[in-house]
Amino acid sequence: MVLGGVLHILHNNLCHLEMCVDSWPTFTTAICYRQKKYLSSSGSSSSVIPDICTVFTKNPETLRSLLLNKRVINWRNGLIFRGIPSSRCDLIKELATLSGLDITEYGGYNTFIHHSLENTDEQEKVLLLPVSILDESHAELVDTHLLYGGNQDSLNHVRACIRHLPNHCVMDEKGRPVSWVLSDELCELRMAYTLPKYRRAGHLLALSLSLIRRMSSLGLPVYCHVSQHNQAVINALTSLGFSACPSMEKISVLLICKDRV
């Protein structure tokens, strides 16, 4: 996910990320996070994207040092940590607790990577409804169906992903989205959903293939994270040409830290 953040920065950095490493050119720890000038202390502005962090490290001590550096990480208003390996979660929880923050963890996810566009043409499905692109007026609909949605931060993030990053959707006859898949600033495929009435029609298959091609054409990685218990989605990803990374740890895709009240 840190590599995805680097590639986003190199592709115009529309979501305002930056990187910090413990040393250069040889480093053991890298953190990707939001540029501070684009964060709001109130978090109330719909134009502001919530803070986000993801980390890569081979050295827990240098990771601790960077996370405690106030010029790098501001714990005061809460953070959204993404893609944290299981072995590093305890350190982040410890530091969050010391900062007086509450923690909600969504864990147990496997990483799936798409390596090749070969044979994707054979999987193309003709849909009865046209493939389109979401606009910001659809953000509330997408946010409603997120596991961690329903708050201003998540809505701001969905809006930013729709505004700046590749996505695809299927519309009904009245122009309302019925199925969609988005990408985020770490280049991950996320937020896929189909309304119950429109399931089993191959919408997500077609949308995923379209988004895979679009992101590959931009030189971006194509990957996602899936719960280790969601065999139906794992089977679908495998059919699309994704492969699991068995050597990688289980990760927590989302670790939300909020102010204690």
Query: What CATH number should be reported for the domain holding residue 16?
Result: 3.40.630.30
Residues 121 and 184 reside in one and the same domain: yes
| For helices 231-239 and 203-217, angle between their N-to-C axes, nearest 10 degrees | 50
**Exposed/middle/buried for residue 113 (C-beta within 10 Å: 0-12, 13-18, 19+):** middle
pTM, two decimals, is: 0.86
Residues 32 and 103 reside in one and the same domain: yes
Residues 53 and 165 reside in one and the same domain: no
Structure tokens at 102: 């509450």
Task: Give backbone dihedrals phi and psi of 77, rounded to 5 degrees, phi first.
Answer: -100, 10
Residues 122 and 106 reside in one and the same domain: no
Q: pLDDT by residue for the chain (261 residues), tens digit each?
A: 999 999 999 988 999 999 999 999 999 999 999 998 877 544 444 457 778 899 999 999 999 999 999 889 888 777 888 888 888 889 998 988 888 888 888 778 889 999 876 655 545 555 667 789 999 999 999 999 998 778 888 899 999 999 999 999 999 989 999 999 999 999 999 999 999 999 988 898 889 999 999 999 888 889 999 988 889 889 988 888 899 887 677 777 545 565 544
Residues 122 and 146 reside in one and the same domain: yes
Q: Is the dihedral of CA 27, 219, 50, 251 positive or negative?
A: negative
In the block, tokens 């010391």 appear at 98
Residues 142 and 219 reside in one and the same domain: yes
Residues 128 and 138 reside in one and the same domain: yes
Residues 40 and 139 reside in one and the same domain: no
Residues 30 and 147 reside in one and the same domain: no
Residues 27 and 38 reside in one and the same domain: yes
The candidate with the shortest Cα–Cα distance to 32, out of 66, 65, 62, 77, is: 66
Residues 58 and 123 reside in one and the same domain: no
Amino acid in the structure at residue 109: Y
User: How many domains are contained in the chain?
Assistant: 2
Residues 178 and 202 reside in one and the same domain: yes
Range of the domain at 224: 112-244
